[in-house]
């Protein structure tokens, strides 16, 4: 099927890697082909803006995976089926001191850390200048977990999740060609008070309706009055969700420790404006460097 779709052998190797199995089975061959085309199109679409915009900062690229795991408690490389970074795919390190303004700290007093992983050029467009943000650049088109009508911004509070999304992007488009990274922003706690937290059946029915582009459950329509919506996330692709027959089949993403992964979502213009104005100096874009692997013929 992949060959008939015209995909290169290199793409097929990345997609069929056993360490990618959990992600691969969440979507069809056609889905992953469309995802590859979408990310590459975004890269080409943004390339002109990247070239013509003044340099937005120094890209930090390193390759000590052990230092990463020590500083960030990021899961070590795992075997097939695991949820940590796959062996030989990406390496990266982070600052844990907060003393270097060009490296993201692990925490800042009075704030909560949020992350987003993906293609580097898209992430960098969110920081047109060092002290300001353009958070709309990180928006995702519907349908998503928390909206089937409006474009909005999703963040995760779990670094492991952002790492996985960056890893996913690197596999889909070849991270050696289109670089990937992680966007980090420390948001003041006072800007997060107005939020609605979805749990259990509420979360399932809300995500079910949005992913399947159904009407919002009547008892949850008021959720959109809040500035932020928070709750779990599912790693199942939209195409997969359309094939499910019951809301109970939605699978929440579980971290290595068994706890549910978390995401926050906003579609509010005034939230975007406050983030742009006040979080420019507490946001960072870090590059993740794919580790080159050699493929030997039989």
- Mode of pairing for the β-strands spanning 180-188 and 195-197: unpaired
Tell me whether residue 118 is in a domain: yes
Of 100, 15, 89, 86, whose CA–CA distance to 289 is shortest? 89
Tell me whether residue 101 is in a domain: no
- Number of structural domains (the chain) is 1
Q: Model's pTM, two decimal places?
A: 0.74
Spatial separation of the C-alpha atoms in residues 259 and 256, rounded to whole Å: 7
DSSP state at residue 145: S
Burial class (CB in 10 A: 0-12, 13-18, 19+), 230: buried
Tell me whether residue 107 is in a domain: no
Per-residue pLDDT of the chain (298 residues; tens, 9 = 90+): 667 666 677 767 766 777 666 666 666 677 666 766 666 666 666 666 556 655 544 444 333 333 233 333 333 322 223 333 333 344 444 433 333 445 788 999 999 999 999 888 889 889 887 788 999 999 999 999 999 999 999 999 999 999 988 888 877 776 556 788 999 999 999 999 999 999 999 999 999 999 999 999 999 999 999 999 999 999 888 888 989 999 999 989 988 888 999 999 999 999 999 999 999 999 999 988 654 444 433 3
Tell me whether residue 173 is in a domain: yes
Residues 6+ apart with CB under 8 A from 137: 122, 125, 126
- Give the residue numbers spanning the domain of 52: 9-95+113-290
Tell me whether residue 126 is in a domain: yes
Tell me whether residue 252 is in a domain: yes
126 near 53, Cβ under 8 Å?
no
Helix H or strand E encompassing 180: strand 180-188
Give the torsion sign (CA, 22, 26, 28, 31): negative
- Mode of pairing for the β-strands spanning 111-119 and 180-188: antiparallel
Tell me whether residue 117 is in a domain: yes
Tell me whether residue 163 is in a domain: yes
């Amino acid at each position: 099927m992949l060959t008939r779709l015209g995909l290169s052998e290199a793409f097929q190797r990345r997609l069929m890697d056993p360490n990618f199995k959990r992600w691969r089975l969440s979507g069809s061959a056609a889905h992953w082909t469309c995802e590859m085309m979408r990310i590459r199109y975004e890269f080409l679409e943004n390339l002109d803006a990247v070239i013509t915009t003044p340099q937005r900062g120094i890209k930090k690229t390193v390759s000590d995976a052990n230092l990463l795991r020590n500083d960030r408690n990021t899961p070590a490389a795992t075997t097939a089926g695991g949820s940590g970074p796959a062996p030989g795919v990406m390496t990266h390190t982070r600052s844990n001191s907060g003393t270097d303004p060009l490296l993201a700290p692990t925490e800042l007093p009075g704030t909560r850390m949020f992350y987003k992983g993906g293609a580097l050029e898209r992430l960098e467009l969110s920081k047109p200048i060092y002290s300001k943000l353009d958070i709309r650049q990180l928006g995702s088109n519907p349908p998503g977990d928390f909206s089937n009508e409006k474009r909005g911004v999703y963040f995760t509070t779990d670094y492991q999740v952002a790492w996985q999304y960056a890893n996913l992007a690197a596999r889909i488009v070849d991270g050696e060609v289109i670089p990937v990274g992680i966007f980090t922003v420390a948001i003041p706690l006072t800007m997060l008070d107005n939020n609605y937290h979805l749990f259990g059946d509420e979360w399932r029915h809300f995500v079910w309706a949005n992913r399947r582009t159904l009407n919002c459950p009547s008892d949850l329509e008021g959720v959109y009055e809040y500035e932020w919506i928070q709750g779990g996330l599912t790693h199942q692709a939209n195409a997969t969700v359309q094939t499910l027959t019951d809301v109970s089949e939605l699978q929440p993403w579980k971290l290595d420790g068994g706890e549910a992964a978390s995401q926050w979502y906003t579609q509010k213009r005034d939230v975007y404006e406050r983030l742009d104005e006040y979080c420019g100096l507490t946001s960072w874009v870090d590059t993740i460097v794919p580790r080159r692997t050699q493929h030997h013929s039989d």
